[in-house]
């Protein structure tokens, strides 16, 4: 059986091909799955998709009509998939429920440190042989307060690093993590966390309940000189409200690896095109904002684990087995 993999990055392709070798043939495409590209999957029983695939009801109907019976998504998040439609169409859906939490946690810290110490601005200056320090002053993080929204595996990994910095630890989650407790974390209401934190980082999944978790009111509750980092999902932050606060001169730094309207933009080369998204275009102009293109997970370790789990998901589907990765079981 040949599997069709959509949205495969150049660095990812050899890992996918190697992982499937000896099991199934795999055809890798760099295009992302959406309503325009879905007809390519005609005749493929199993397809693999990336986090930016569009898997609404209409796309799923096109896939099902073409013979697709299993979708193996190469990510933990699955808010892009209409699971009810998949179940109605008799399609099996699986995701990767776990991969290296350190990849995302370490990158979140990379964003925090980069905006705190003005690394991008300093690098641009030195390329022009401008070695002044004006405007590059940051702050020690030791002794300051970090607020971790979401203390699962990634939030825990972030907290361990924060503990190493010697920071005061505040947490917010529906369930407390005993490891974070042992590190000295105090669980508090979200409003208190936002008010007292010098650094706020987001590590919660995107669901209806967490859509715009950081809305206009939440942003106004934060310190004027706080640092905000999001390496989870773009929809957690009301970006329009964030731009309004930035225009008012607030926040020492904002590091975003995700953006709520990133589909159709991130992972693609748009350098020769006019960007029609005015919010994103405005966001990247602020000198205290750093935007990266959803790369926090992108390490050899994490991608290798994602690919291996995807292979296991396909093999389980073929054998009629069910694992914790299955979102919609085989009918």
Task: List active site positions.
Answer: 233, 262, 294
The Cα 161–Cα 149 span in angstroms is 15
Question: Apex CA 16: angle with CA 20 and CA 308, to 5°?
Answer: 70
By 3-state DSSP, what share of the chain in percent is helix, strand and coil, each rounded to 5? 35, 15, 45
Give the dihedral sign, CA 117/123/126/130. Answer: negative
* Residue 264, phi-psi category: left (phi > 0), alpha (psi -120 to 50), beta (remainder): left
How far from 102 is each of 45, 109, 237, 257, 307, CA to CA, in Å? Answer: 34, 10, 22, 15, 17
CA-based nearest residue to 217, from 188, 190, 196, 199: 190
């Amino acid at each position: 059986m040949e599997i069709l993999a959509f949205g495969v990055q150049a660095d990812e392709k050899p890992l996918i091909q190697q992982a499937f070798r000896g099991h199934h043939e795999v055809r890798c495409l760099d295009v992302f799955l959406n309503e325009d590209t879905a007809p390519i999957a005609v005749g493929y029983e199993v397809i693999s998709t990336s986090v930016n695939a569009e898997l609404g009801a209409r796309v799923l109907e096109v896939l099902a009509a073409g013979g697709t019976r299993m979708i193996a998504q190469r990510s933990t998040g699955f808010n892009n998939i209409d699971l009810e439609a998949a179940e109605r169409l008799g399609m099996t859906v699986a995701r990767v429920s776990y991969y290296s939490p350190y990849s995302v946690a370490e990158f979140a810290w990379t964003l925090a440190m980069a905006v705190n110490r003005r690394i991008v601005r300093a690098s641009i200056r030195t390329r022009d042989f401008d070695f002044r320090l004006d405007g590059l002053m940051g702050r020690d993080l030791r002794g300051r307060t970090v607020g971790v929204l979401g203390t699962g595996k990634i939030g825990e990994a972030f907290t361990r690093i924060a503990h190493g910095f010697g920071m005061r630890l505040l947490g917010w989650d529906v369930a407390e993590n005993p490891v974070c407790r042992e590190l000295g974390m105090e669980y508090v209401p979200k409003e208190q966390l936002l008010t007292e934190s010098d650094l706020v980082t987001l590590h919660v999944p995107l669901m209806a309940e967490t859509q715009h978790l950081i809305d206009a009111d939440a942003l106004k509750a934060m310190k004027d000189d706080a640092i905000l980092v999001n390496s989870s999902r773009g929809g957690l932050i009301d970006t329009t409200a964030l731009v309004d606060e930035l225009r008012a001169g607030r926040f020492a730094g904002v590091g975003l690896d995700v953006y709520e309207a990133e589909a159709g933009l991130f992972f693609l080369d748009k350098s020769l095109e006019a960007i029609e998204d005015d919010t994103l275009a405005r966001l990247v102009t602020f000198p205290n904002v750093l935007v990266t293109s959803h790369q926090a997970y992108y390490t050899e370790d994490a991608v290798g684990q994602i690919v291996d789990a995807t292979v296991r998901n396909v093999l389980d589907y073929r054998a009629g087995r069910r694992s914790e990765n299955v979102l919609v079981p085989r009918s």
